[in-house]
Structure 1
């Protein structure tokens, strides 16, 4: 119990510290750097959702760029309609489209666009997740299927240039809810909105991870068949958390396109999808904080390297990934956590009698006992 309370206090303290640092960032960063940080924080929302399915549930998705892109496109379609002032979007006119397609009509409303930015990724994730998890497709096979989803989606978006903007995507946005997107005050407002959303998503993910649901997800990751044998339905849990992760990716896409001002098929391709997994791996799987920190640090390093060493930055990024994989297999946060736990255990062994040493984690025994008690 004392260990649990201690971990909870540490999480609360870290959450408060991160939130304060993010709120104070505008006082120390230029407008350009603040815009970059806002974009990285949007990525962090996606990374935390990805950590829920990979770090906690063991589902390696290499196609999360699709859900990110779908959410971004939904918001971009609304922004494009507003910028067109009642006329056809420019790319439609260039492609010979004479009338606004019916599926664009709901995006005249900002609220509907925001809702669809969450529901469309969830719908796609539900279909893919249910069909694959029900047939017990997992591991490498699921990862390959998720990459196939990326290829199909990009082919569709590029091929339907008259309806999606093709390879150029959607851009040239002016306003959102009457606010000029190019104004410094609007950018600052969007940054603070992103910070608040990151804080809420962080608390949501921490709550899910520490709840009974989180224990079941970890059990599914470690031994799915055993979870099934003790009476749980892994399919329902996996589909649910996969849909939650897709919704968070769509939300990240919305915040990204509002701050970046563009979304194209290239931003939801295979390479970006793999990079998203690397954010979680570098930060630390199954830590939530690690996903957030990994997304911000990795993208910050990418920006720094590309600015300082334009010709060498891909090599430097690759070297960073290799170093973390070889020497920090649990990521930055996981390694720090293990180091702190080792110091605490060493101190406790010297100070406390053997009978008072904390018991090891119960794992499946805890799940089975809680089920019997329920």
Structure 2
């Protein structure tokens, strides 16, 4: 019990923060929002998976990836491929020249299902692919980069280039990917209508439950010895290397794990929204994901969720009320948070939570961070 309380939850303050987040997304929002708004919030929560992955990767590992949209998109396309094949049964596509294949393939005169689409006829294989293929792709990238000690701005630029390449590939291979339009007209999951209100409620709660589970698993990783080493690598990488640890292997693991988390968010996005397109794979969404993490507090898993909700809610509200000015307002919102709250929303929580909740004062230093790592000067770093 003490392990759960201190390690996974982070003591009183961390536990309270987790409970408040769970109450907000599982109880309060479903009570006060209609299905349209709730489905919109569910879409925001799918982005939060990528923001949480960036807290692990960037906040604690010091590895800035500007290509998390790649893994988000891979997970989304994996789920979309399964749903599209189900929607493309011979009965539903009998008016096509080649029944039984997706419509965009028929439009591009493809006469049989490509080999790499075949595994996505199985829901089980689809889930396995969503979890493993993005992680495998990240492993290949990480192995090539980190073993050669490529990091910092160079790694960030390389991930941007990968996002551009994948976007161009998806758009260019229209007959296999749906091109610029993406994969659309997704309506059923194993015969269940995913456009119904009941399905939208189900996917919202599933999405929220998975997000909370990912946060707990991430906390477990960060409070382990691996988490301490990850934090030490961020601040004193050479010292960790000279201590006998293979820094590259640690970076490869956290990069692959972060890719898997982002892919889960992408798969849930497809189920929540009902389509997937290359617009969620490129540089712009990847940079937005970094902004979500920065606004929430790049060393706070829970803060990343609040940052995602705040930015996307602001984007929706500003675009609805001020369609010509909303980009400027969003920029002002981001600049204001960075200037006045450099530690993000999580910093506000750490500073003011003990004042609002007096019972937290005894352990006010307990935050949503792993144990303190001490450097050679004797000063703690977080």
Distance 1:131 1:186 in 2: 42
Shift of residue 111, structure 1, vs aligned partner: 1.4
Shift of residue 301, structure 1, vs aligned partner: 1.0
Distance 2:375 2:131 in 1: 34
Structure 1 match to 2:341: 328
**CA-to-aligned-CA distance 1:250-282 (integer Å, 9 cap, x gap):** 100000000111111111111110000000000
Change (3 A) 1:51 1:361: closer
Mapping 1:163-178, distance limit 5 Å: 163-178=176-191
Structure 2 match to 1:351: none
Among 268, 277, 290, the residue aligned to 1:264: 277
Shift of residue 322, structure 1, vs aligned partner: 1.1
Mapping 1:115-134, distance limit 5 Å: 115-134=128-147
Shift of residue 179, structure 1, vs aligned partner: 1.3
Structure 2 match to 1:62: 66
- TM-score for both structures, normalised by structure 2: 0.88
Distance 1:13 1:137 in 2: 39
Determine if the alignment matches structure 1 residue 14 to structure 2 residue 25: no
Determine if the alignment matches structure 1 residue 307 to structure 2 residue 320: yes
Change (3 A) 1:257 1:131: same
Distance 1:46 1:366 in 2: 35
Runs of 5+ in structure 2 lacking a partner? 91-99, 363-370
Shift of residue 364, structure 1, vs aligned partner: 4.0
- TM-score for both structures, normalised by structure 1: 0.90
Change (3 A) 1:21 1:172: same
Distance 1:166 1:285 in 2: 34
Shift of residue 20, structure 1, vs aligned partner: 2.0
Shift of residue 247, structure 1, vs aligned partner: 0.2
Q: Is the 1:114–1:254 Cα contact (8 Å) retained in structure 2?
A: no
Higher mean alpha-carbon deviation, 50-59 vs 85-94, is at 85-94
Change (3 A) 1:120 1:308: same
Structure 1 match to 2:304: 291
Shift of residue 219, structure 1, vs aligned partner: 0.4
Determine if the alignment matches structure 1 residue 277 to structure 2 residue 290: yes
Matched positions, count? 353
Shift of residue 362, structure 1, vs aligned partner: 4.9
Structure 1 match to 2:366: none
Q: Is the 1:285–1:334 Cα contact (8 Å) retained in structure 2?
A: no
**CA-to-aligned-CA distance 1:70-115 (integer Å, 9 cap, x gap):** 0000000000000011411100011111111011000001111111
**CA-to-aligned-CA distance 1:280-326 (integer Å, 9 cap, x gap):** 00000111111111111111111111111111100000111111222
Q: How much is the aligned-residue C-alpha RMSD, in angstroms?
A: 2.3
Q: Is the 2:135–2:259 Cα contact (8 Å) retained in structure 1?
A: yes
Among 207, 214, 219, the residue aligned to 1:194: 207
Q: Is the 2:231–2:373 Cα contact (8 Å) retained in structure 1?
A: no
Higher mean alpha-carbon deviation, 13-22 vs 121-130, is at 13-22
Shift of residue 327, structure 1, vs aligned partner: 1.7
Among 48, 53, 56, the residue aligned to 1:49: 53
Secondary structure of the equivalent of 1:262? coil
Determine if the alignment matches structure 1 residue 39 to structure 2 residue 43: yes
Secondary structure of the equivalent of 1:263? coil
Secondary structure of the equivalent of 1:231? coil
Q: Is the 1:171–1:262 Cα contact (8 Å) retained in structure 2?
A: yes
Among 71, 86, 97, the residue aligned to 2:110: 97
Determine which structure has the larger helix proportion and give its number. 1
Distance 1:178 1:148 in 2: 39
**CA-to-aligned-CA distance 1:138-162 (integer Å, 9 cap, x gap):** 1000000000100110111111100
Secondary structure of the equivalent of 1:51? helix
Distance 1:336 1:139 in 2: 29
Determine if the alignment matches structure 1 residue 363 to structure 2 residue 374: yes
Distance 1:69 1:4 in 2: 35
Shift of residue 335, structure 1, vs aligned partner: 3.8
Runs of 5+ in structure 1 lacking a partner? 349-359, 368-374
Q: Is the 2:67–2:162 Cα contact (8 Å) retained in structure 1?
A: yes
Structure 1 match to 2:248: 235
Q: Is the 2:69–2:282 Cα contact (8 Å) retained in structure 1?
A: yes
Structure 2 match to 1:370: none
Distance 1:26 1:328 in 2: 29
